[in-house]
Every structure is written in C-alpha cells, then in structure tokens.
Amino acid sequence: MKNEDSVFYNKKFINCGGRLISLETPLVMGVINVTPDSFYDGGKYSSDKDILDSVGEMIEEGVAIIDVGAYSTRPKASDISIEEEKQRLLPAIKLIKSHYPDAIISADTFRSSVASDSINEGAMIINDISGGTMDEKMFETIAHYNVPYIMMHIQGTPQNMQDNPLYNDIVIDIMDYFIPKLDKLKLMGINDIIIDPGFGFGKNLEQNYELLKKLYLFKMLDCPICCGFSRKSMINKVIRTKPSEALNGTTVLNTLALLQGVKILRVHDVKEAIEAIKIVNYYQKA
C-alpha cells in the first residue's frame, strides 16, 4: 500500500496565513539558527547578509518553509532568557520577511510570548520542541493566532534530555504523549497540527533507530509528520563522522523517513533533501 493511500492519513493541506500549502508532495523546511552555539551551524548567521544569502539560496533550491530559531536545543545547551531569545529571533524574522515577503517562516520556540511576538513579525508557523510542556500558555497562543503548530516530543529538557532517557515501549510512550495533546488542541479549534517524534530529544542511539524503524505507525494519529535528522549524532555515532561530514548519512535517514510517509523534512541542506523527495516520489509511482 502506498503512503498516500493510507486509510489513516487524510490531511493534504495546511493553512499558512490564508495560503493553502499542499502536503501531497513532502516539503522541506530549511534551518536558520541565529545562535552562537548550535551543534552544527552555530555562529554561521552572524550578519544580515549571512542570513539573507542563505535564505535566498534555500528559496532557489525549493525550500517550502524557513525555520528560524534563536535558542540552542543541542544536548546540555545553556539556557537563555526570554529577552535574549527575542533579541536574536525577532530581528531575523523581520529581516527575512522584509526581503522575502512570500517566504513561509516558522519560529522555532517553546515560549508562548516569543511565539506571539514572532507571529506579529511575520512568522506563520510555530515549531515547539516541547510540545507545550515548557510553557502552559503555548496552546492558548496557537489557538488565538490560529497558525499551524509543529508539536514535537521531548523527554526532559535540552539541558538534561540525554542523561538517561527511558521508555517502556518508545512508540506507545510517544503516542501516549501526543494523543491527549492532540485532543486538547482540537477542542481548542486548532486544526493544522503537525507532529514531530523528536529524534535526538531524550532518546539514545538505539531508541532513535527503533523509533525510525516504526515511524509509519504515527500515521495513525492522522497528522502530518515532520522529522529532523540533519547531521545529528544518531548519524555520526554509527558512521563515525562529525556533523560537518554527515550530509550523506542525513540523506539516508531522510529517505527512510520519506518511505514511511513523512511529510516535512527539517534540514540544513535543502538541495539534497529536495533530491531525495524527487527520487522517492518517482520510486513510489513506478
């Protein structure tokens, strides 16, 4: 059975500021981290020119969403204040929107006030690594602005999530995390919900690959699935690379995810993800 024929998965569009974005062909979300300490691209976007050059290149390559983050969520990353996150994030969103007014921008934040201000500056999607667990007002904020919401699974916080992640059954445990949140969001009138199982966020190497192997099961939740494997340690620990050398490994994992019905790939390297989507689509239609 082809993924697009699944009895479980029906949603084919998300509404971004009145624009219907098709999910029939998987989309690529390009990462812009305006932080000094991200695990791969920390400090890369230290000037307006750096940001605009990268966004322009991503758009040329076919990116659908620009995901802008200002809080490093790598394991053991330092916590920063709300004010500092806003000082980094909001000017970047405003800059991108002023030069690329048609760009669909996602704000990568788990803080409701940062989400609110980001939407007011032009963000159309909120990408929350905490799935609402780190700010009890996040769901209200999403409902108020009626924007698509990427709800990720995390066990713990970025500061402690890799200390000793434990699961009885990783798929069932993550399902149990998502289901009540989905029910609550839908009761609040939020319809454009995307789930992200959170690879690397409170999962060890074996747990990440068990989750990847059973990724297709999350289609039962009837939400588009977003995944971010880009240059992560679950690649580097297996093939003994550094993040800077992990593009090939990233493409392999993206391909495995696409074959299981993933609809959004969050990546640092847009061109290669687009190529993976084209090849998988051709393979599935053959």
As a whole number, mean pLDDT of residues 31-55 equals 78
| Catalytic-role residue among 266, 271, 278, 285 | 266
**Residue bearing tokens 């969520």:** 73
| 38 pLDDT higher than 70 | no
- Within its chain, how far is the Cα of 105 from the centroid? 12
Question: pLDDT-based confidence at 75, cuts 50/70/90?
Answer: confident
97 is catalytic: no
Q: What is the mean pLDDT of residues 145-169?
A: 91
Radius of gyration of the chain (CA): 17
- Per-residue confidence (pLDDT) for residue 6, from 0 to 100: 45
Catalytic residue among 137, 232, 237, 271: 232
For CA atoms 100, 106, 109, 111, the dihedral sign is: positive
**Among 199, 125, 196, which Cα is nearest to 162's?**
199
Spelled out in words, what is the top-level CATH class assigned to the domain 25-285? alpha beta
Does 266 qualify as catalytic in the annotation?
Answer: yes
Average pLDDT, the chain: 92
pLDDT band at 78 (very low <50, low <70, confident <90, very high): confident
Digit-coded pLDDT (tens) for 236-247? 999 999 999 999
Q: Quick one: average pLDDT of 260-280?
A: 98
Q: Name the residue ranges covered by the structural domains of the chain.
A: 25-285
Confidence class for position 40, pLDDT limits 50, 70, 90: very low
* pLDDT 10s digits, 165-202: 899 999 999 999 999 999 999 999 999 999 999 999 99
Band (pLDDT 50/70/90 cuts) for residue 3 is very low
Residues linked to residue 20 through DSSP beta bridges, in sequence order: 15
What is the average pLDDT across 76-89? 91
- Mean pLDDT, residues 69-89 taken together: 89
Which residues contact residue 286 at a Cβ distance below 8 angstroms, ignoring those fewer than 6 apart?
Answer: none
Average pLDDT of span 86-94: 96
Q: Which two tokens stand for residue 270?
A: 């847009």
pLDDT at 214 over 50: yes
DSSP class per residue in the chain: --GGG-SS----EEEETTEEEE-SS-EEEEEEE--S--TTTTTTT-SHHHHHHHHHHHHHHT-SEEEEE-S--STTPPP--HHHHHHHHHHHHHHHHHH-TT--EEEE-S-HHHHHHHHHHT--EEEETTTTSS-TTHHHHHHHHT--EEEE--SS-TTTTTS----SSHHHHHHHHHHHHHHHHHHTT---EEEE--TTSS--HHHHHHHHHTGGGGGGG-S-BEE--TT-HHHHHHHT--GGG-HHHHHHHHHHHHTTT--EEEES-HHHHHHHHHHHHHHHH-
pTM of the model: 0.92
Band (pLDDT 50/70/90 cuts) for residue 7 is very low
- C-alpha dihedral (2, 197, 254, 108), degrees to nearest 10: 130
